[in-house]
Amino acid sequence: TEDEIILFEKEMKEFWTKLKSIYGTEQISHTLALRDSCKESIKVLSEKWTKKLKEEDLMIDKIQEFSNEIVQQSKRISENQKHLTEIKSNLNQEEEQKKELIESIRELKEELMKKKEMVSSRASVMKERVERLCKSKELFEERLGLEIRRVHNEQLQFIFRNIDHKDPDKPYMFTLSINKQGDYEVTSCTPPLDCIAEFQLKVRETNKFSVFIANIRKAFTALSYK
Distance CA 43, CA 150 (A): 130
- Residue 164, domain member (yes or no): yes
Distance CA 196, CA 193 (A): 5
Q: Are 140 and 197 in contact (CB under 8 A)?
A: no
* Residues 136 and 183 both lie in one domain: no
Three-point CA angle 176, 181, 183, nearest 5°: 35
User: What CATH code is carried by the domain that includes residue 176?
Assistant: 3.30.457.50
Q: How many domains does the chain have?
A: 2
Q: Which domain holds residue 133?
A: 70-143
Helix intervals (H) in 23-136: 25-135
Distance CA 85, CA 67 (A): 27
Last residue of a domain, one of 143, 158, 189: 143
* Residues 116 and 161 both lie in one domain: no
* Residues 124 and 151 both lie in one domain: no
Last residue of a domain, one of 95, 122, 143: 143
Name the 3-class secondary structure at 20.
helix
pLDDT of the chain, 226 residues: tens digit per residue: 677 778 888 888 887 777 777 765 666 666 667 767 777 877 777 788 788 778 877 888 888 887 788 888 878 888 888 887 888 888 788 888 888 888 888 887 888 777 777 656 666 766 676 666 666 666 666 666 788 888 887 799 999 999 998 899 999 999 999 888 889 999 999 999 999 999 999 999 999 988 999 999 999 999 988 7
Last residue of a domain, one of 116, 143, 170: 143
DSSP 102-117: HHHHHHHHHHHHHHHH
Residue type, 84: L
Within 8 A by CB and 6+ apart from 211, the residues are 202, 203
Within 8 A by CB and 6+ apart from 138, the residues are none
